[in-house]
Each structure stands twice: as structure tokens, then as C-alpha cells.
Structure 1
Amino acid sequence: MSYREIASRGTLAWAAVAVGARMPVAMAPLAVVFLVREREGGYALGAILAAVYVVGEIVGAALLGMRMRAERARPQLAVGLGVGAVGFAALGALPDAPALVLAVCAFVAGGAPGAAPGGMRALLNSLVPERSMAQAMSAESVLVFVIWAIAPAAVTGLALGVAPGLPLLLAAALMGLSVPGLWLLPAGWKADESDRDGEPMLRIMARAWPVYVTGAAGLSLLALAELVLPALLEQREISVGMSGPLLAGLAVGSAVGSFVYGLRKWPGRLRTQSLVCMLAVSGCLAVVAVLPTAAWLAVGLACAGFLQAGSMLTRNLTLREVLPPSALAAGYSVMYAAIGAGYAVSGSLAGGLLSVTTPSTAILAGVGLTVVLTLVGTLAEVRPAPGAGAGAVGGGESGVVSGGGAAVSPGGVPERPSS
């Protein structure tokens, strides 16, 4: 297996469109904070707008992603991205608008393109051979982590150096440009809905809940570290300005981890790989909570990011095993919503813990909760759902019901043609 197998004009066009669709997502939370920071109660209002944006993402990913169909993917994605671009443009052009107006714009900017990550991932799947799916997912993760490493610096530079609304106007332009780029990609992907045997989409999604739980736990763990990091630096009497470089190191570690994961086939089932990576990430962050110097914090966060990439990739690959092809785009969108919900819960948990305990204790408490969620999700994958019938696998096999009710091979791969 090699990354050369996925290099083509189609995947390069997909990457260009993905940058336009995903860069605004990475820019948005910080951009809305800078947009209103000079208003009365600016930082508080900025935090509220960022939260509304994330809620919009969660709602849009869950509701719109569940309604996405392979044969109508292009127009659905185009409308969502186009409306999202309008939401971003309105935010950037109306910095002095009433808070309620800004909140509506933020919700639209987050919610309208909510199905785009899942739909774009499904399009990527249709562009590469089945045997190269791990490399394709790894390359996508590298691209996403690079975007998240660049976005904060771009937002800060533009907002402070030029104008507070400029990052949001740039986000609108990028998302708008991604719309015509969709016509460089396939109109959709092959998906015969007969593989669902008439089962409602909601029930199929519900069967994969253990994957969503462990996926959300993985990102919420690092989200907790990100949100508590400034307070932890103050506790260690380290300059809070080190937060930026340390978080950039975490993102770079994740990008490197994604690349390394795609270089070879790793031993063990995906479930086992995910569990090992999650426990290792938890260990890294538990150590970060007690490390005394910035240098050691940088090492701990980089290692956590490196291992977290493997955890998230195994979760996305597991969805391909447990869902029928026609439900993959919806599954990816629900995973995106679950991750967003995990991030939001982590933010609330961080705020609550910091008001009653030290930053290091807050991180350790978050690590403990994440380990519990990881074990719950993993054990649920091992145990077949009651009455699942032939679609579930017992005896330590995959254990998650295959959405189409198809039999599953001993390796955990659905025994039906992949689209």
C-alpha cells in the first residue's frame, strides 16, 4: 500500500474543494471572538457566538447528514455550502449588528454546511480504490490537521492587523469558491439502498452508537486539554503566550500521526487499535497534567496528538465496517455531530471544573471520564446487540451490528460488495 495509489487529478481537485469547505470551519470560533471583542461584554459575547456556531454544526450535521442521498449529493452540498457562505459573509459585514442577529448568522454559518464533511468524505471514498481507503483517510486527516494549524494564525493576523471582520469575509469567500469546485468532482457515489433492507436510517445510525461514543471521547479529551491549557500554564508559572506554539505542536503531531498510520497495515482489529491509541492518549494527557516545564508539555502534547490521529482514523474506518454503503455519508455526518457534541461537553466540563479545582486536577478528571467512555464504547462493540441476529458478531468479533444486516467475516469486514 502506498500514498501514490491515491494521487490523481480527482483527489487533487477534492483536496482543493475540501480546503475551501473546511478552512472556514477551523477559522470560525476564534474569528467570531475577534469580531466582537471590542464591543461591550465582547469576550463573553464572542464565546456565546462560538457556542451557537458549534451547536449549528451539530444540528446541521445530524439532521442534514441523515437526509443526504448519493444521487443528489452535489446539489445538496452546493446549497449547504452556499448558504453557509452567506452566513459567514453576514457575520463579517455586520459586526455591530444586534447580538441576536449575529447569533442567527452564526447558527446558519455552522448548520447549513453541516453535512459537507460527511458528504466530502463519501466522495473521497468513491475516488480511490477500496484497498487504499486507509491511505485516503490518513491523507484527509493530514489535510484537516494542517488546516487547523494554519487557521488560528491566519485569523489572528487578519483580525488584529487589518480588520476584525476580515477573517469571516475570507471564510465566506473560501466556502463560496468551494461550490463551483464541486463540479470538478463526481456527482455522487454508488450506493444501492437495497443494502438497508428497508430499515430506517435512524435505526441504522443508532446501531453504530459505540463508534460515536469512542469517537467523541477521543476528541473531547484533547479539547479539554486545549481549553484548560492556558490555566495550566498559569498554574505552572509559564507564559500564557506559549499556548499557541504548544497547540500548534499538538496539531503537527496529529498530522504526522495521520501520515504514519497510512504508511502500512497495522496489526490487530480496528477496535483494538482504537482502544490502544485512546488509552495511550489518556496516559499522555495525564502526564501533561503534572509536567513542570513548557518543553515537557510540548513533548506530551505532541505525543498525544500523534496517537489521537490513529484513534480517530480507526473510528472512521470502523464506520465502513458497521454501516451499509448507502448509509456511510450519514454515518460520517453523525460522527461529526458526535465529535462536536463531545467538544461542547468538554468546554462545559472544563469551565465547571476550573471554578472548583486546579487546572491539573481538571485535566485528570477529564482523562478519567474519557477512559470510562472509551471502555463503555469498546465493550459495547464486543457484545452484540440483543436480538441483532445475523448482523451482529459475538465471540470477540466486530460486535457492532452491520447496518444492512449482512453477515460479517471473522476479520470484521462486511461480506458484501463495497461501493
Structure 2
Amino acid sequence: MSYRDVASRQVLIWACTAVGARMPVAMAPLALVFLVRERPGGYSLGAALAAAYVIGEIMGAPVLGLRLRPARARLHLTGGLACGAVGFAGLGLLPDTPSAVLCGFALVAGAAPAAATGGLRTLLTALVPERAAAQALSVESMLTAGVWAVSPAAVAGLALGVAPRVPLLLAAASMASSIAGLWLLPAAWGGDDGTGSGARAGGASLLKVLTGVWPVYVTGAASLALLGLAELVLPALLEQRGIGVGWSGPLLTGMAVGGGLGGFAYGLRAWPGRLRTRSVLLMAGVSVCVTAAALSPSAAVIAAALVVGGTLQSGAMLTRNLSLREALPSDLLAAGYSVMYAAAGAGYAATGSLAGALLREVAPSTAILAGVGLTLALTAVGWWGEVRVAARPPRDADGAAASAAAGGTAPAPGPAGGVEGSVEGMGARGAEGCG
């Protein structure tokens, strides 16, 4: 089990495709603010456009993810990415149109390609041996961290140095290029028959199976909530401490670099303990780091806390993706990852909204501490839910016994243990089919 298992031409093509699809996502919020900042009420309009984009992502990811079928994966992803490229191009080509039209373009740009993250993640794990799933997801984490480290500087430089519309036109071109990459990758993955019936073993519906692993989504939302908290409140915190607000960019870049290092370290070895236990410990570590950043008057301590926090947050998110992989059948992984994407976006938005509301009444450091409290509460709820799911008997145990009594062949029981235990029993064939 090493990174050599993911070193292949197909994975390299996947990486280029993923960068093309995800760079626009990382660029969008800041690019939308720069696009309209010189119009009357520009910053408020920019915030509204960014909100429309995020709402599009949160709505589009679960809706389109549920419709994503492994047998027709390429066609689904191509359609979404093409519509997303049109949305970005509309924003870049028509920046002076009425606000409602711009909001419509932003909504389309966020919603249409929202299932691509889950689809591409599932495709990546199908390109590597089963034993290398953790390494493949670590590579994805490093790639994502790199994209997020580069994007803010690229947006600011192009918007201020060339023209405000250029970052959005670049985003449109980048997303369109990812479509070309898809045609060099497999058209499908897994063993889905393509019927899209949503029927599962024991008669469980697609939606019921997906919602049955809700604790993973809750802790996934918590893991991104702290990242959003740090990004959104950091400028105000630096001002409170008498540190130049211009340092917010380099500090956030350092946090993104830490995320890449965390993804790399996680894939170097097999870590002990259950995934849910690792997740809680990592989230506790991230909370300590963000708390230290909030309370420290030193720029050096804030920088170090954010780098370490980014490193731990990357590991926490990886545990959530691995838990989901073990919890769901292979033909539902893309849908599950899409729901996780929406949940993480909702956690980001909720914590940011809480901090934004509190900033009107309390100091930035206090707002950050309130966000940490919300994140810890979400983590506790998710952990409690995973323990409850692990304690339940397998859903199809009675049906298997009845089948055996009637002379049928009972399926072999799955392994035991957490959402990675009783849920492993639900999703063992999913883990096999993805490898």
C-alpha cells in the first residue's frame, strides 16, 4: 500500500481533468466580488452573487448526484460541466447586465456541475487497486489544496491587473477543458445496470440508503465549517490584533498548503483505530488550532495554528470520505459524495453566517470561538449517530434468516464495526466494486 499504486497515466489524466473542473469552484466567490465591485453597491451585489453561486452548489449537488448513474457517468458529468461553463462565460461576457440576470448565471454556474466532485472522486477510486483507495483520496486532497492555494492569488492578480471579467472567462475555459479530459477516461465505473431503479437489497430505496448514513454527512459538514470560519473571519481578527489585513491572503495560502501536507501524510501509512474515532480526534485538534489562532495576539502563532489546523482538517475530511466509501454500495458512491459536498457547503455557510451575525455584536475572536462551539456540537452529534448506527443489527438479517429457512442461500454477513462496521456490512460490495 503506497503512492506507487496510484501512479499511472489514467490517474494523471484524471488529475488534469479534476483541476479543470475544480479551479472554477475555487475561483468563483472572489471572482464574483471583483466582477461587480465598481458598480453602485458593488460589494453587496458581489456577496449576493457569491451566495447565489453557493446556493446553486448546495441545491445541485444532491439533486444531480442522485441522478448520476455509473453506467452513464461520462454523459452526466459532461452535461453538467458544459452548463457550468456556459454560466461562467455568461458572467464574464455580460458583466453589465441586470443583477437578476447575473444571479441567474451564478446559480447555473454553481448548480450544473455540482455533481462533478462526487463523480470524479468515484471515478478516481475506480482507476486504482482497492488497496490504494486511501492513497487515491489523499492525492485528491493534495490536488484540491493546491487548487485552493493558487486560486485566490490568480483571481486577484487577473482582476486587478487585466480586467475583472478575466477570472470568470478563465473559469469558463477551465471547466470546458475538463470536458475534453473526461473523454480520455472510462465512460462508466462500477457494476450498476444503468436502470436507475434505485432498488437496493432488502427493498430499501436509494434515498433511504443515502440518508441512513447521515452521521457521516454531519461530521463532514463540521470538518469544513471550521475552514469557512477561519477564511471568513480572519481579516477581522487580524484587524482586531493590529496585524495588517493584507496578511490574510498568505495565511490562508499557508492553511491550504497545510491541507496538502495533511493529505500526503494520511496516505503514507495505515492508521490505527476506527475511522469515526480518528475523525473526532482530528476535529478536536482542528478546534484547538482555530481557538489558538483566535486567542493569540501574535501573527506567527496565528500562522502556525492555521497551517497545523489545515493539516488536521485535511485528515478529518479524508476519514469522512473513507467512511462514506465503506458505508455505501458502489453504484451510490457518486450520489453519496455529492450529498457530502452539499452538506459540507451547508456547514461552511451556516458557520460563516453565524460568525457574520455575531461580528455585529462581539469581537472577531469571540465570533470564532462561537463557531468552534457549533463545530464541536456537530462533531458530537455525528459521532453519536455513528455509534448508534454501529449498534444496530444489519437491516437485512431477518430477511436473510427467512431466506435460509425457505431453502434460499443467505448472503455472507459483512464485517462488524462503526459506520465502518454495520454500515460496512451494507456497503462491502460497494468497496469491492470501486477498487
TM-score by shorter chain over 0.5: yes
**Is residue 200 of structure 2 the alignment partner of residue 196 of structure 1?**
yes
1:91-102 map, 5 Å: 91-102=91-102
2:324 matches 1:310: no
1 CA distance for matches of 2:15 and 2:429?
Answer: 31
Task: Quote the residue 1:362 is aligned against.
Answer: 367
Deviation at 1:399, TM superposition (A): 4.5
Task: Look up the match of 2:166.
Answer: 166
Matches within 5 A, 1:184-333: 184-192=184-192, 196-197=200-201, 198-333=203-338
Identity %: 61
CA contact (8 A) 1:216 1:341 kept: yes
How much has 1:192 moved relative to structure 2? 3.7
- Match of residue 414 from structure 1: 428
Tell me the equivalent position of 1:183.
Answer: 183
| CA distance, structure 2, for counterparts of residue 163 and residue 330 of structure 1 | 38
Question: Structure 2: which amino acid aligns with 1:196?
Answer: R
CA distance in 1, matches of 2:430, 2:334: 18
CA distance in 2, matches of 1:360, 1:237: 13
What is the rounded CA distance, in whole Å, between the counterparts of 1:260 and 1:386 in structure 2?
31
Aligned counterpart, 2:59: 59
State the shift of 1:326 in Å.
1.2
- The alpha-carbon deviation at position 400 of structure 1 amounts to 6.9
Note the C-alpha offset of 1:401.
8.2
Alignment of 1:50-129 (within 5 A): 50-129=50-129
Q: Deviations over 1:225-263 (max 9, x none)?
A: 111111111110110001001101100001001001000
Q: Read off the aligned partner of 2:200 and give its amino acid letter.
A: R
SS in 2 for 1:184: coil
Deviation at 1:385, TM superposition (A): 7.8
Equivalent residue letter for 2:208: R
Could you tell me how far apart the structure 2 residues matched to 1:61 and 1:26 are? 16
Structure 2, unmatched stretches of 5+, are 398-412
Match of 2:296, SS state, is: coil
Cα-to-partner distance string for 1:267-319 (whole Å, 9 max, x where unaligned): 11111111110011011111111111111100010010010011000000000
Tell me, in whole angstroms, the C-alpha distance in 1 between the residues paired with 2:366 and 2:341: 28
Q: Decide whether the 8 Å contact of 2:57 with 2:111 is kept in 1.
A: yes
Shift of 1:342: 0.9
Which residue matches 2:131? Answer: 131
Q: Which amino acid aligns with 1:397?
A: G
Q: Which amino acid aligns with 2:322?
A: L
**Does structure 1 residue 397 correspond to structure 2 residue 417?**
yes
Report if the CA contact (8 A) 2:251-2:306 is conserved: yes
Does the CA contact (< 8 Å) of 1:195 and 1:324 recur in 2?
no
Shift in Å, 1:177: 1.1
Paired positions, count: 413
Distance 1:417 1:270, change over 3 A: closer
Report the TM-score, using the length of structure 2 for normalisation: 0.91
Structure 1: which 5+ runs fail to align?
A: none
- Alpha-carbon separation, structure 2, partners of 1:325 and 1:56: 26
Matched residue type, 1:141: S
**In the TM superposition, what whole-angstrom CA distance separates every residue of 1:21-45 from its partner, at most 9, and x where no partner exists?**
0000100000010000000000000
Contact 1:57 1:114 in 2 (8 A): yes
Q: Secondary structure at the match of 1:414?
A: helix
Structure 2 match to 1:157: 157
Tell me, what secondary structure is at the counterpart of 1:418?
helix
Structure 1 CA distance, aligned partners of 2:62 and 2:84? 16
Q: d(CA) in 1 for partners of 2:278 and 2:352?
A: 27
Instruction: Judge conservation of contact 1:92–1:169 (CA < 8 Å) in 2.
Output: yes
Shift in alpha-carbon separation, 1:398–1:386, aligned structure 2, 3 A: closer
Q: Distance in 1 between matches of 2:38 and 2:191?
A: 50
CA deviations on 1:170-203 (whole Å, 9 max, x unpaired) are 0000101111211110101013469822422111
CA contact (8 A) 1:88 1:106 kept: yes
Match of 2:410 in 1: none
Measure how far apart 1:368 and its partner are: 1.1
Residue 72 (structure 1) shift: 0.7
CA distance in 1, matches of 2:375, 2:396: 29
Amino acid aligned to 1:163: A
